[in-house]
Chains A and B, each alone.
Chain A
Amino acid sequence: MKVLMSGNEAIARGAYEWGIRFGVGYPGTPSTEILEEFSKYDGVYAEWAPNEKVALEVGIGAAVAGARALVTMKHVGVNVAADPLFTVSYTGTNGALVIITADDPSLHSSQNEQDNRNYAKFAKIPMLEPADSQEAKEFIKIAFALSEKFDTPVFLRTTTRVSHSKSVVIIEDPLPAEDKTEIRITPSKYVMVPAMARIRRLEVEKRMQALREYAETFGENRMEINSSEVGVITAGMPYNYTKDVFPEFSYLKLGLVHPLPERLIREFAAKVKILYVIEELDPFIEEQIRAMGIKVTGKDVFPFTNEFDPGVIETALKGKPPTTVKLPEVAIPPRPPNLCPGCPHRGLFHVLGKLKVFVAGDIGCYTLSFMKPLEGMHSCICMGASIGMAHGMSKALKEKGKGKVVGVIGDGTFLHSGITPLLNMAYNQGEAVIVICDNRTTAMTGMQEHPATGYTLQGVKAKELDISALAKVLGIDNVRVIDPYDIKNTRDVMREELASPGSSVVISRRSCVLFKRHQTETRKPLRIDVNKCVGCRNCIGLGCPPIAWRKFADMPAGQVIKNAKKQEGNSFIDADLCTGCTICQQVCKVGAIVEVE
């Protein structure tokens, strides 16, 4: 049967069809839907781990017990999981272990655009790279088969365009799932103390040599011979982009991007006069081919940064096509993503932005508050960095930093990698104030469960972590809980904690406005009473999507109602978008914001 599937859905389907029944991961765009979709299939066990390192370790444990385990994460998640990654390469996997790394060229939803093909080479782990959804479904099966055949972890790399594009997939019936798990005790293979790791180290080289041989005849390293003039070596989505504009070229499409098939590459290179390597991000394939002594053109004409599209490839090889249409010359206002109407983070960052403190931020929806007009965040490096950075900054600043340094982290991010830095801060007697924005879910990636939500990925009721008790146990004596919809209290508590010595934690607790689980109250939308509005723009300063500024100059004279001498316009609230959170009502000094009747 033919169905339309995203790359992520196809990976989940392929794993299920292949009889895989164990999955673990940590949500992160563009990988999240893989495990979500996989968890819905019959007979599958799947769980969200609190971070990627734990996810990989859970996967390794399952594989060592003889299971075939799927582990999913985004590219930067592999950094978190890198510690076990490099050594599971030595131990091998017993059952099977496939790690998905979902890379994000162009940084659609990430803090960097690292090319995780480098991890395959670095950790000596084979890597497959599909180009569309049908291939994603087939390649995940091949990945598991390779893992079993070569007793190795295997990477399957996607990019945002593969994960989130949809294309036609032929679905098949699942193979029966076999249970091969049992306790086998083989310390020489799994206890990586130096004496045994040295021996396994040699096994890794033997395995890579065997994989290099395998790659030479691997069916998904595929030649398509057309032109004898121009040949292209490529893999993944750039294959599709190039085929689209240059169908007449010859192709060597690599399904396995690590290790590379040297003899096959030489054979292909000999068939064409001009050879291109077309790959996004790093010259990963290109450098290895150059090292073989083969002349290729790659990053000398193609960009190092951002994802490609057919136009990028066409322009690099033929120059920009002439435009025949004269497009309008007009300033197009940008439309960046924004905190939602009614977002609980808005109240908190309105307060933080006005406190004249340094706010070390973290990864989540709240990162958007760095933008105008809130401007409530001043750094964002990686998951969990806020707490360590705030602590380091306050230690370095000493007296100058007293009452001036705040770290802000979401509930999901805190559980991912904020616990150890908070422990460190308590232990080393830090002075910063840490705010945990607890919106009761992993909001940014689409409401995934975590250890403090009370449910598992598959909907089983679970223990609900008490974040405030945890902070106390870690050694933080001052733990306060606030409601960020209450601006006055939020401001008062922040001021008190900044003034008090030692470290403290403020839990800013209010469910994500899009998350229905905790929502009981219904609120009425608000409107501006133009007979009271003095045009002070306090509400505009919240950057809430329904609130707009209307200049008197743009209004018909009859509609202008001036309530202050220098007033130049009014605010206006779009009632269809307003959730009635009342934050704007609280910042309005003249009582001009009222409920819609």
Chain B
Amino acid sequence: MSKKTIIQKINQTEVKSVLMAGVGGQGILRASDILCMVMMEAGMDVKKSEVHGMAQRGGCVTSHVRYGSKVYSPIERKGNVDILLAFEKLESLRYLDYLKPDGRIIINELELYPPSVNLGDMTYPGHAIDLVKESFKTVKVVKAHEIAREAGNLRAENTALLGVLSQWLELEITLWEKILWEVFPKKVVDANLKAFHLGRAA
């Protein structure tokens, strides 16, 4: 698909959005950077927003990515996100109110315990995926750490999840490959490309 047809497919005023959510240290900001660059490569306007600083270590991390022919706000309002990409099971629950009624969800089947669970004060909602499925029709569950391991680099979990996400975005694979080549150092680019392709096939 050429750049022009991609833009034509998107309504002139329509802006689409992906919300990535997970835990500090999971590579969410990198993943959303890559998604933005791919969208730019496809000729779209794009904005993204996240919070750094005190929220960096062990806290929740979210990144909004919005794209279209002209984007104003870098953050999406509640009830309007098209795709939620949850890097962790519990975090998929936290942001459900951001989704459109027909919003789609990708969940990485990984449990990272927050302090209150470690202390035994609260229970980790192990049945998170079932709960999400009760509210939303399209839920895809993957084990990105296993994909990353198969690709030969445990840190490529975020690239694996981008591969899964790419199934739902109508973008030519060469756009993704070009950006992945650009952003990763030579040493790890092969593992990341592999993780991406395995994710795309998952």
A binding-site residues for B, Cβ under 8 Å = 2, 4, 29-30, 108-109, 132, 160-161, 164-168, 239-241, 243-245, 247, 309-311, 314, 321, 323-328, 330-340, 365, 371-373, 444-445, 540, 543, 545, 547-549, 551, 569
A332 engages B90 (CB within 8 Å) = yes
Tell me which residues across on chain B come within 8 A of A164, comparing CB atoms. 49-52
CA distance A30 to B120 in the complex (A): 34
A108 engages B54 (CB within 8 Å) = yes
Tell me which residues across on chain B come within 8 A of A30, comparing CB atoms. 52-53
A338 engages B115 (CB within 8 Å) = yes
Query: Looking at the complex, which one of A165, A245, A335, A373 makes contact with B48 (CB distance below 8 Å)?
Result: A165
A548 engages B113 (CB within 8 Å) = yes
CA distance A324 to B102 in the complex (A): 10
A545 engages B46 (CB within 8 Å) = no
Tell me which residues across on chain A come within 8 A of B97, comparing CB atoms. 323, 327
Interface size class of B (residues with CB under 8 A): 35 or more
Task: Determine whether B94 belongs to the interface, using a CB cutoff of 8 Å to chain A.
Answer: yes
B135 engages A335 (CB within 8 Å) = no
A4 engages B56 (CB within 8 Å) = no
Interchain nearest-CB distance for B130 vs A (Å): 9
A335 engages B54 (CB within 8 Å) = no
Task: Determine whether B114 belongs to the interface, using a CB cutoff of 8 Å to chain A.
Answer: yes
Number of A-B contacts (CB under 8 A): 171
**A333 and B74 in contact, given A166-B33, A328-B135 (Cβ under 8 angstroms):** no
Can you name the residue of chain B whose Cβ is closest to the Cβ of A163? B52
Tell me which residues across on chain B come within 8 A of A324, comparing CB atoms. 101
B116 engages A334 (CB within 8 Å) = yes
Tell me which residues across on chain A come within 8 A of B118, comparing CB atoms. 540, 543, 545, 547-549
Tell me which residues across on chain B come within 8 A of A327, comparing CB atoms. 96-97, 135
Can you name the residue of chain A whose Cβ is closest to the Cβ of B58? A338
Tell me which residues across on chain A come within 8 A of B101, comparing CB atoms. 324-325
B115 engages A543 (CB within 8 Å) = yes
Can you name the residue of chain A whose Cβ is closest to the Cβ of B103? A325
- With contacts A109-B51, A165-B50 known, what are 15 further pairs, Cβ within 8 A? A4-B33, A161-B74, A165-B47, A167-B46, A167-B71, A241-B73, A244-B77, A309-B73, A310-B76, A324-B101, A330-B93, A331-B125, A333-B124, A339-B57, A543-B119
The B77-104 residues at the A interface (CB cut-off 8 A) are 77-80, 90-91, 93-94, 96-97, 99, 101
Can you name the residue of chain A whose Cβ is closest to the Cβ of B24? A337
B72 engages A241 (CB within 8 Å) = yes
**A551 and B57 in contact, given A166-B47, A240-B74, A332-B125 (Cβ under 8 angstroms):** no
CA distance A321 to B60 in the complex (A): 26
**A335 and B60 in contact, given A160-B51, A327-B97 (Cβ under 8 angstroms):** yes
B40 engages A328 (CB within 8 Å) = no
A337 engages B73 (CB within 8 Å) = no
Tell me which residues across on chain B come within 8 A of A166, comparing CB atoms. 33, 36, 47-49, 74
Task: Determine whether B7 belongs to the interface, using a CB cutoff of 8 Å to chain A.
Answer: no
Can you name the residue of chain B whose Cβ is closest to the Cβ of A338? B58
Q: How would you classify the secondary structure of chain B's contact residues: helix, strand, loop or mixed?
A: mixed
B52 engages A29 (CB within 8 Å) = yes
B135 engages A326 (CB within 8 Å) = yes
B120 engages A323 (CB within 8 Å) = no
Tell me which residues across on chain A come within 8 A of B134, comparing CB atoms. 328
Tell me which residues across on chain B come within 8 A of A543, comparing CB atoms. 115, 118-119
A161 engages B47 (CB within 8 Å) = no
Task: Determine whether B23 belongs to the interface, using a CB cutoff of 8 Å to chain A.
Answer: yes
**A338 and B59 in contact, given A330-B131, A548-B117 (Cβ under 8 angstroms):** yes
The B22-71 residues at the A interface (CB cut-off 8 A) are 23-24, 33, 36-37, 40, 45-60, 71
Task: Determine whether B5 belongs to the interface, using a CB cutoff of 8 Å to chain A.
Answer: no
A168 engages B58 (CB within 8 Å) = no
A109 engages B73 (CB within 8 Å) = no
Tell me which residues across on chain A come within 8 A of B48, comparing CB atoms. 165-167
Task: Determine whether B171 belongs to the interface, using a CB cutoff of 8 Å to chain A.
Answer: no
B74 engages A321 (CB within 8 Å) = no
CA distance A161 to B66 in the complex (A): 14
Tell me which residues across on chain A come within 8 A of B60, comparing CB atoms. 335
7 smallest CB-CB distances across A and B, nearest first, come from A109-B53, A311-B77, A29-B53, A337-B59, A328-B131, A165-B74, A549-B120
Can you name the residue of chain B whose Cβ is closest to the Cβ of A33? B52
CA distance A69 to B105 in the complex (A): 48
Task: Determine whether B13 belongs to the interface, using a CB cutoff of 8 Å to chain A.
Answer: yes
Tell me which residues across on chain A come within 8 A of B114, comparing CB atoms. 333-336
27 contacts between A and B (CB under 8 A): A4-B37, A108-B51, A109-B55, A161-B74, A164-B52, A165-B48, A165-B49, A165-B50, A168-B46, A239-B72, A243-B72, A244-B15, A244-B73, A244-B77, A247-B13, A311-B77, A325-B96, A331-B125, A333-B122, A335-B23, A337-B24, A337-B58, A338-B59, A340-B57, A373-B119, A444-B53, A549-B119
**A372 and B40 in contact, given A161-B75, A330-B125, A545-B58 (Cβ under 8 angstroms):** no
Tell me which residues across on chain B come within 8 A of A540, comparing CB atoms. 118-120
Task: Determine whether B132 belongs to the interface, using a CB cutoff of 8 Å to chain A.
Answer: yes
Can you name the residue of chain B whose Cβ is closest to the Cβ of A568? B120
Can you name the residue of chain A whose Cβ is closest to the Cβ of B102? A325
Can you name the residue of chain B whose Cβ is closest to the Cβ of A167? B47
CA distance A444 to B36 in the complex (A): 27
